[in-house]
Amino acid sequence: MPDYAWPDTEHRTLIGKRIPRVDSPAKVSGQAKYTYDVRRPGMLYGKVLRCPYAHAKIISVDTSAAQKIPGVKAIHIVQQPGSTIFWAGDDVVAIAAVDEPTAEDAARVVKIEYQKLPHFVSDAEPPPNVAEPAVGPLSQIDIWDLELPEEQIAAEVRRRGVSFRATQAVLAQLRRFRMPEVIVDAIARAPYRPLTDETSGSLYQRVATETKGDPDKALVEAEVVSEGLYGCSVITHCCLESHGSIMEWPERNQLFSYMSTQGVSAIGAQLADPLNVPAANIRVHQDHIGGGFGSKFAVDRWHVAAAHLSRKAGGQPVRIMLERDAELEVAGARPSAYARVRVAAKRDGTITTWESRSWGTGGPGGGGMVPLPYIFDVPNQRKEHIAVRNNIGPGRAWRAPSHPQAAVITMGALNDLAAKLDMDPLDLWMKNLDIAGQRKETFREELGIAAELMEWKQKWQPRGQNKFGSLARGLGLSIHLWGGRGHASDCDLTIHPDGSVDIKMGTQDLGTGTRTVISVVAAETLGIPISAINLQIGDSQFPSSGVSGGSSSVGAVSASTRRAAIDARDVLFSKVGLVLNVPPDQLECVNGTVRVKNNPNNSLSWKQACSKLGVMPITVRGRNPNTVKPPDLTGSGVGGVQMAEVEVDIETGVVKVKKMVAVQDCGLIIDLKTAESQCLGALIMGISYALFEEKIMDLTSGRMLNANMQFYRLAGLADIPELVVHFMTGKGYDERGVIGLGEPPVISPGAAISTAVANAIGVSVPFLPLTPNRVLDALARKPGA
């Protein structure tokens, strides 16, 4: 059996080093092509006519005037009269024309008659006693969000039905995402109940109530009780490259799609059903993607519409890329989560009780509960969650779904508890690590390192006591947890007789460094330079590899590449062994040579070695997982700690982040540089959602008011302070295999920054983003203000 195991420290030349991304030159020079950049010969421009109302019924659609406009090539009605619209901006009619202005002109003359229905776009705290048991059908994201034991989730699915068609492709995808079989089975058998006004039920749906231990008794016995309100508003994904695709039919029954997607291998199966074409006849291609963050897993209405338009136009390519306002209004929303929390402890800081009444919205389906309390498994708990069903557009997975919200609520509550106990929160966290689950020892180690990097003990002062004039400084912290096991991945690696090497894999690089890690693993294993690897990804014709979600790509592609490279290498060894007159297992690939172990002079150059293959290249397929060929090269379960230092102007309410520290574990690191970049990017995104981002809905019109880059504020360069990233590596970490990193570091910034603000100004600001008005209002409510 070949030894697939990752090389140990002494035998690594590339793995774990700081290696620049292989696609950096293409990206900084503009040669990298994003889907948005694709211009096909004869390409038509698609426009989507969107509903201006947040809740309405389509009465009639008249496209006759649009059809008469010269240059209009196809019109497709996305939602027929009789359909109910549940959010403003939803697609109604799509038009393809020779250029964008013509498509827009045509869209303007389409007549759509709506019956306006009452809309509801608030996610404010539900009034008391209005929540009813949830009855509405479950969307995929609802099911993922249900924080219940597997059997109970399956029961909920059977009881409420599903709002999506559970096709074989959908079920296969859920399995790839590791949904437990009992739930997948329930989905397969559940009634299909599309979301309508009749099926959806109450605006306020009680989706979870849970009790553990004896919270009443524990509260009576508690020595210190802290109560507070915490939460996060809905934010949008705001992908720099908007959603969209170019669809064309080169043959009547063959679809070619350039798509901005997080899953090139998974799209075909999703398009097959709505387009009534075999998945085998669908090819999906993507070179580079400008951000997904969890919002680009699925096939959206506009993708299907573009394919229909192209078919109607005789197969000519049709491009639909969302405009910025549509991108923000309809193509991504992170569900909100808020909670009233009561947390109790003994005088020594031992946390005894957690009570929360939480609510939030994931749009028309309502959404599920975030995992509370986050990480700390408090012995006595009572929890209730109310899903607010409203017309703001459907929630989508956003980088570590539910975790950032859960961290903000939990860390905020514990931070207030620490203040009530007159304790440094760092001590409170340390004190309670015994209930922090499997990674508690990692947290302990990381908290120590983070505290040193932040100089926590030197800087920390009790609440509201670190002031210079109108400026108040404070420190905050948060811890987080994530899975990150590699998904299913197939990798084809070919060694050619001239020494060139190519790799084909149906994965995608979300900008996270996937290309780089594949190249590093192959180069390390074959002992050749990274530049010698010719890597092709981003096409569904290549061996399939999973959807990039759940931080599952790096573990997957590293493992499948390692296995392919080892197997290909061993084929090569069997040929070279005959020439060098040694058994193949006595050979090694080092520094561009194939040589005899312990006798480096007995060697062939890589090129000479490959020439021994004769005229035929060798191609092998590596797979992850591969239980018959141990060991497991990927792992699961990472812990991280983050600390923030902030400065708040208590006259203006403006918050500045002065420094952030991130200490992270992710198993064996393939490329330290891309890993560090991943953390830096997460901190920047975290500062942005902590301070600026919010989907602002107008209650009267039901529209999103800040669907542009002018009003949807994102952190700019000048808002980013000193960022310090430290990785846990070496013994205890490396041998856990390669584990994903995309999501974990974005979980804690909001919680670390908001607890730092509370420390600075002496009172918690309940909800993110921590805008000046919220900070000033919290100060005004502060006791004694």
Partner 1 sequence: MMRAFDYVSPSTKVEAIHLLETRWGKTEVLAGGTDLVALMKDDVVAPMRLVNIKDIKELKGIVSGREGLGIGALNTLDELADNEELRRNYPALADALVDVASTQIRNVATLGGNLCQRPRCWYFRKGFGLLPKDEAGKDLVSEGENRYHAILGNDGPAKFVSPSTIASALIAYGAKIRIEGSNGHREVPLNEFYRIPKTDIEREYDLRANEIVTEIVIPSAQDVKAAHYEVRQKEAFDWPLAVAAVALKMNGSRVLSARIVMGHVAPVPWRSAEAEQLLAGSIISEETARRAGEAGVKNATPPFAQCL
- The answer to the question of residue 65 lying near partner 1 (CB under 8 A) is no
CB of 101 to partner 1, least distance (A): 6
Sign for the pseudo-dihedral over CA of 216, 220, 222, 227: positive
Among 773, 783, 784, 785, binds partner 1 (CB under 8 A): 773
Binding range to partner 1, per CB under 8 A, among 33-41, 175-183, 505-513, 693-701:
693-701
Among 37, 210, 452, 777, binds partner 1 (CB under 8 A): 777
- The answer to the question of residue 716 lying near partner 1 (CB under 8 A) is yes
422 Cα distance to chain centroid: 37
Q: Where are the beta strands (DSSP E) in 119-243?
A: 132-133, 204-212, 224-232
Nearer to partner 1, 607 or 656 (CB): 656
Among 49, 162, 766, 768, binds partner 1 (CB under 8 A): 766
Binding range to partner 1, per CB under 8 A, among 165-173, 262-270, 650-658, 737-745:
650-658
Pull the structure tokens for residue 153: 């989730």
The span from the CA of 316 to the CA of 73, in Å, is 10
CB of 698 to partner 1, least distance (A): 5
Binding range to partner 1, per CB under 8 A, among 98-106, 466-474, 496-504, 566-574:
98-106
CB of 624 to partner 1, least distance (A): 43
How many chain residues are in contact with partner 1, going by CB under 8 A? 40
Among 37, 62, 104, 502, binds partner 1 (CB under 8 A): 104
**DSSP H/E element including 665:** strand 655-665
- The answer to the question of residue 281 lying near partner 1 (CB under 8 A) is no
CB of 354 to partner 1, least distance (A): 21
Residue 177 and residue 547 in contact, taking contact as beta carbons nearer than 8 Å = yes
Residue identified by tokens 């999501």 is 743
Nearer to partner 1, 22 or 309 (CB): 309
The span from the CA of 293 to the CA of 327, in Å, is 13
The contact pattern for partner 1, residues 609-638, with x = CB under 8 A and - = no contact, is ------------------------------
- The answer to the question of residue 711 lying near partner 1 (CB under 8 A) is yes
- The answer to the question of residue 101 lying near partner 1 (CB under 8 A) is yes
Pull the structure tokens for residue 713: 């504020």
Is 614 buried (19+), middle (13-18) or exposed (0-12) by CB count in 10 A? Answer: exposed
Residue 368 and residue 387 in contact, taking contact as beta carbons nearer than 8 Å = yes
CB of 546 to partner 1, least distance (A): 37
- The answer to the question of residue 71 lying near partner 1 (CB under 8 A) is no
- The answer to the question of residue 323 lying near partner 1 (CB under 8 A) is yes
Peptide bond into 769 cis (omega under 30): yes
* DSSP character at residue 733: T
The span from the CA of 772 to the CA of 692, in Å, is 10
Binding range to partner 1, per CB under 8 A, among 234-242, 393-401, 498-506, 768-776:
768-776
The span from the CA of 710 to the CA of 706, in Å, is 8
- The answer to the question of residue 708 lying near partner 1 (CB under 8 A) is yes
Among 70, 614, 700, 731, binds partner 1 (CB under 8 A): 700
Binding range to partner 1, per CB under 8 A, among 172-180, 284-292, 690-698, 754-762:
690-698
The span from the CA of 772 to the CA of 691, in Å, is 9
CB of 331 to partner 1, least distance (A): 18
Is 713 buried (19+), middle (13-18) or exposed (0-12) by CB count in 10 A? Answer: middle
Among 719, 726, 729, 735, binds partner 1 (CB under 8 A): 719
* Count of CB atoms situated within 10 Å of the CB of 725: 21
- The answer to the question of residue 785 lying near partner 1 (CB under 8 A) is no
CB of 513 to partner 1, least distance (A): 28
The span from the CA of 215 to the CA of 662, in Å, is 34
| Full DSSP string of 336-388 | PEEEEEEEEE-TTS-EEEEEEEEEE--STT------SS-S---SEEEEEEEEE
Sign for the pseudo-dihedral over CA of 564, 257, 333, 167: negative
| Full DSSP string of 40-80 | -TT-EEEEEEE-SSSSEEEEEEE-HHHHTSTTEEEEEESS-
What secondary structure, in 3-state letters, does 543-559 show? CEECCCCCCCHHHHHHH
Binding range to partner 1, per CB under 8 A, among 59-67, 481-489, 619-627, 688-696:
688-696
Binding range to partner 1, per CB under 8 A, among 60-68, 177-185, 256-264, 714-722:
714-722
Binding range to partner 1, per CB under 8 A, among 168-176, 284-292, 534-542, 770-778:
770-778
Among 692, 695, 752, 768, binds partner 1 (CB under 8 A): 692
* Count of CB atoms situated within 10 Å of the CB of 124: 10
Nearer to partner 1, 125 or 273 (CB): 125
Binding range to partner 1, per CB under 8 A, among 131-139, 522-530, 631-639, 696-704:
696-704
- The answer to the question of residue 757 lying near partner 1 (CB under 8 A) is no
Contacts with partner 1, residue ranges (CB under 8 A): 100-101, 104-105, 229, 323, 325, 652, 654, 656, 691-692, 696-701, 703, 705-708, 710-711, 713, 715-719, 766-767, 771-774, 777, 780-781
